[in-house]
Structure 1
Amino acid sequence: MAAHTLTPVHHPLHSLTQTFKSKTFKPQTVKCRSATTTITSNLRAAVIGGGPAGSSAAEALATGGIETYIFERSPQAAKPCGGAIPLCMLDEFSIPSHLIDRKVTQMKIISPSNLTVDFGKTLRPNEFISMVRREVLDNFLRLRAEERGATLIKALVTNIELPLSEKSPYIIHYISNNTQNTLAVDVIIGADGANSKVAKSIKAGDYTCAIAFQERIKLPEDKMKYYENLAEMYVGDDASPDFYGWVFPKCDHVAVGTGTVCSKQNIKQFQGAIRNRVKSKIEGGKIIKVEAHPIPEHPRPIRVRGRVALVGDAAGYVTKCSGEGIYFAAKSGRMCGEGIVRASENGRKMIGEGDLRREYLRKWDDEYFCTFKFLDVLQKVFYGSNAGREALVELCGKEYVQRMTFDSYLYKRLAKRNPLEDAKMAVDTIGSLIRSGVVGREVMDAAGF
């Protein structure tokens, strides 16, 4: 392949490279969707970022017989994240039950006027929302990618040299153990988050980012008992002008946080407000960790260029309204990795931009474009004012709304609709917005806006 005919470039794993070049590969059997094929790997891929997106991509690539390197600067670090994952992800990504901190079966959503709705009353006996810690989940997914054959490089990627021709390699410059190194590869998957270096290297364009701020608070035993299987969402201008605040239970603590796009400079003020709203419930708690991180608000203008593809946060795959990103990160990584395996015929042929667009980007957009657009509209309607938030909470009390929401969230499929109930919901929505226009003004007046 082109990656091995380049003018000599220092390889970070020199002895390993020589072994690859000199040894005779034993054919390995890789099970693809269409058939079982005996392959010998030639294509070389790098995945930048070792979160759910990068690890899932690396696992798919390595399982498909492609020589795979995954770069992660800080394997022990954890991204600030609510940590909720849908039920379908457990089976789809074979997530073992011991990774789950809490199985949430109760969810409350609290309006600006403190109207509280139990948002989990339609959950079936076997349904729950899994709460995980990102450091635990990410580590598990990375280790599994390594078990499938990916090579983990603990390093900071500093620069990416673009190829001189369609088949010449990308050169990755990175620092590992205070030493400058380089690696030549045929294809790159950027899974390095909202501030993606990979995206910058291919001029993928900018996007709007929110900032998420979260405190992990260890509670006294009696307080923790209250949050044993309960998650809370708080909406209101005090907690966030355009998103929501949350209290999510973990193994021995709760994650209390908020996020915003339009007023990032005031994030600590909003965090103070959410703490104040839950003050009696977390009294006596001790802050054990403070975290902040940018979160993309929409997909990047460019997600594929040349032989480079972006996945997860680097691509902008975080949903509006709910802020969900873990499942879509892992899903996009796997779809991209599997697409490269198909297009390269298990690593035996070079791929191009057209292959990435056909096998990854088009399939992703066909499956999820409408979901992201729909949630974008919902956020604009319900999160723009306290009036809209009051209407949102009121609607969340409707059993049909809850069932539709949980079917869509837990299983990532279009819930079976009832035309009569849809029409009733539309009327209820209009009525809620009218009524909440009054409630919203009263709340804002009381707050001194």
Structure 2
Amino acid sequence: MKFTLVTVAGFATVANAFSNSAFMGKTSITQAAKSTSQLDMKYKVAVVGGGPSGACAAEIFAQEKGIETVMFERKLDNAKPCGGAIPLCMVGEFKIPETVVDRKVRRMNLVSPNGVEVDIGSTLQADEYIGMCRREIMDKYLRDRAIEYGAECIQALVTNIDVPADHKTNDKSRYTISYSEFKEGSAAGVPGSMEVDLIIGADGANSRVAKAMDAGQYNFAIAFQERIKISDEKMAFYEEMAEMYVGDDVSPDFYGWVFPKYDHVGVGTGTVVNRPAIKQYQKAIRDRAGDKIAGGKIIKVEAHPIPEHYRPRRIQGRMCLVGDAAGYVTKCSGEGIYFAAKSGRMAAEEIVKLMEGGTRLPTQEDMEKTYLAKYDKAYGPTYAVLDILQKVFYSNNGAREAFVELCNSKYVQQVTFDSYLYKRVQGNNPLDDLKLLGETIGCLIKGYANAKPDAVFSNPVESQKRL
């Protein structure tokens, strides 16, 4: 459904132009018409992608009177392959209602390569939890909210973006977006095109906007997930429980998961270094979960590329990347939903300020000094720390055994949950940090001594592929 926004100010100006006072003094009919045109003029912003990053960006733009907002989404019932975990801070910050959260996870069962289990979550308060969502439900809610604020949503696949040669220096040059719009009865879609003044690329790992702006390549993981319907008796185990399995059998550089949803569990894994073996790792996570999901029916199979690091370029001219398109997924945890929504909202908020009520367009330098600088300052350290942790603890089975043992520590659990739930460090204790360093070294020594060796694999050609 398309919405046409007409400002009351526009009507008022037209009415005044033909009133008696309009013909008095020095104001001519030509001047009045020119004034009317200026008030009615709006800059047009295209948000390509209607997931959390795109929807949250469109919501901000749509509330600005001087901006016309169009959001493109290829598939309105899209269910992105995703664990679907969101931190508690996102529920409050983005006003996510209870109806969107399927489960409130308060315990995590962490399982080592040798089968050692650690139950974490005892440090959580009664009102703290990790939200588990289905992406098709959450994405639709965020998208519908943007539409309610006035964003126009077009169900279409963006096929091409024509970038004018002078788009960095001439604010009157416009981008032309070509797309194939979904229509009932049309298998191929109906072609269309639109000129816009600014583009937000929120279209995921295979971003068309990133290609148009020559944003560069990045390495990527393949995430694979099966939605499995299990009996009510087995589902009761996952009422407030999620599971993480580590070991080179389920992933040589990540983890496998069993996350509870409304009436099923999402069972999946991911890898960067050995993508061709993803189905082998998926079978292993099913085997590791064992009787807990035995007899379940697979109701959906999903796979999707996940970015491994920032794009080399995230802004060019008046084109700006957010979410997966920009590469905002953390190492170690693989979290991307919150950072997608946050980057979309932050980019839009900064750009709206720069546009000064729709009276000007921001430059590339403007956006780099505001949106990019603020995002990197706020979250750059998080990406760096989690990158280090992944390299230390997910590199081999010995390190994975040590990681699971360390999670027995209440201090580790407290810091981990505080960092995840609230996206900030909760004032670590230097003495406890020093003690933790000693425990880490001890656990690593023990883990390497007791761990089973990692399987050897080789994929020299496929491992060089980039998005």
Q: Which amino acid aligns with 1:42?
A: K
Q: Which residue of 1 aligns with 2:18?
A: none
Paired residues of 1:40 and 1:347 also in contact (CA < 8 A): no
Shift of 1:164: 3.9
Q: Is the 8 A contact 2:174 2:195 kept in 1?
A: yes
Tell me the SS of whatever aligns to 1:309.
strand
Alignment equivalent of 1:255, drawn from 261, 266, 275:
266
1:393 correspondence with 2:398? no
1:343-399: CA deviations, max 9, x gaps? 001222122111211221111011111110110000000000001101110111100
Structure 1 consecutive aligned stretches of length 4 or more whose deviation exceeds 6 Å: none
1:172 correspondence with 2:183: no
User: Conserved in 1, the CA contact under 8 Å of 2:7 and 2:40?
Assistant: no
The Cα of 1:24 is off from its aligned counterpart by: 1.9
Confirm or deny: 8 A CA contact 1:41 1:348 kept in the other structure. Answer: no
Change (3 A) 1:272 1:304: same
The CA RMSD over aligned residues, in Å, is: 2.0
Going from structure 1 to structure 2, the CA distance change for 1:204 and 1:26 (only over 3 Å counts) comes to farther
After TM superposition, list the pairs within 5 Å mapping 1:207-226 onto structure 2: 207-226=218-237
Hey, what does 2:330 align to over in structure 1? 319
- Distance in 1 of aligned mates of 2:316 and 2:164: 12
Taking the aligned partners of 1:295 and 1:211, their CA distance within structure 2 comes to 6
Q: Counterpart of 2:100?
A: 99
Q: Secondary structure at the match of 2:221?
A: strand
Q: Distance in 2 between matches of 1:260 and 1:40?
A: 51
CA distance in 2, matches of 1:322, 1:219: 26
Structure 1: gaps (5+ residues): 1-11, 28-38
Q: Name the residue aligned to 2:49.
A: 49
The 1:221–1:22 alpha-carbon spacing in structure 2 relative to 1, beyond 3 Å, is closer
Consecutive unaligned residues in structure 2, runs of 5 or more: 14-38, 184-188, 458-467
**Corresponding letter in the other structure for 1:392:** F
Are the structure 2 counterparts of residues 21 and 201 from structure 1 closer, same or farther at C-alpha, using a change threshold of 3 Å?
A: farther
Which residue type is aligned with residue 47 of structure 1? V
In the other structure, the counterpart of 1:128 is 129
CA distance in 2, matches of 1:21, 1:137: 31
Give the match's secondary structure for 1:259. Answer: strand
Q: Percent identity, aligned pairs only?
A: 57
Structure 1, residues 286-312: CA drift from partner, whole Å, max 9, x if none?
000000000001110000111011000
Output the amino acid matched with 1:46.
Answer: A
Q: How many residues align?
A: 421
CA distance in 2, matches of 1:23, 1:110: 62
Per-residue CA shift, 1:239-284, capped at 9, x if unaligned?
0000000000000000000000011110000000000011211111
Q: Does 1:87 align with 2:88?
A: yes
The answer (yes or no) to whether the contact 2:106–2:129 under 8 Å persists in 1 is yes
TM-score (structure 1 length as normaliser): 0.91
C-alpha separation between the residues in 2 aligned to 1:392 and 1:415? Answer: 21
Match 1:293 to one of 297, 301, 304: 304
Identify if the C-alpha distance between structure 1 residues 25 and 329 changes in structure 2 by more than 3 Å, giving closer, same or farther: farther
Indicate conservation of the 8 Å contact 2:10/2:40, yes or no: no
1:233 alignment partner AA: M
Q: Which residue of 1 aligns with 2:320?
A: 309
Q: State whether structure 2 residue 10 is matched by structure 1 residue 24.
A: yes
Q: Distance in 2 between matches of 1:332 and 1:360?
A: 8
**Residue 409 (1) aligns with residue 395 (2):** no
Q: Distance in 2 between matches of 1:425 and 1:23?
A: 63
- Counterpart CA distance in 1 for 2:456 and 2:394 is 19
Which residue of the partner structure matches residue 145 of structure 1? 146
Distance 1:367 1:192 in 2: 23
Cα distance in 1 between the residues matched to 2:56 and 2:456: 48
d(CA) in 1 for partners of 2:204 and 2:96? 22
Amino acid at match of 2:57: A
Pairs within 5 Å for 1:65-76 = 65=65, 66-76=67-77
Partner SS state of residue 178, structure 2:
strand
Residues 122-156 of structure 1 deviation map (CA, whole Å, 9 limit, x = unaligned) = 11111111101000000000000001111001101
Letter in 2 for 1:169: R
Q: Which has the larger radius of gyration?
A: 2
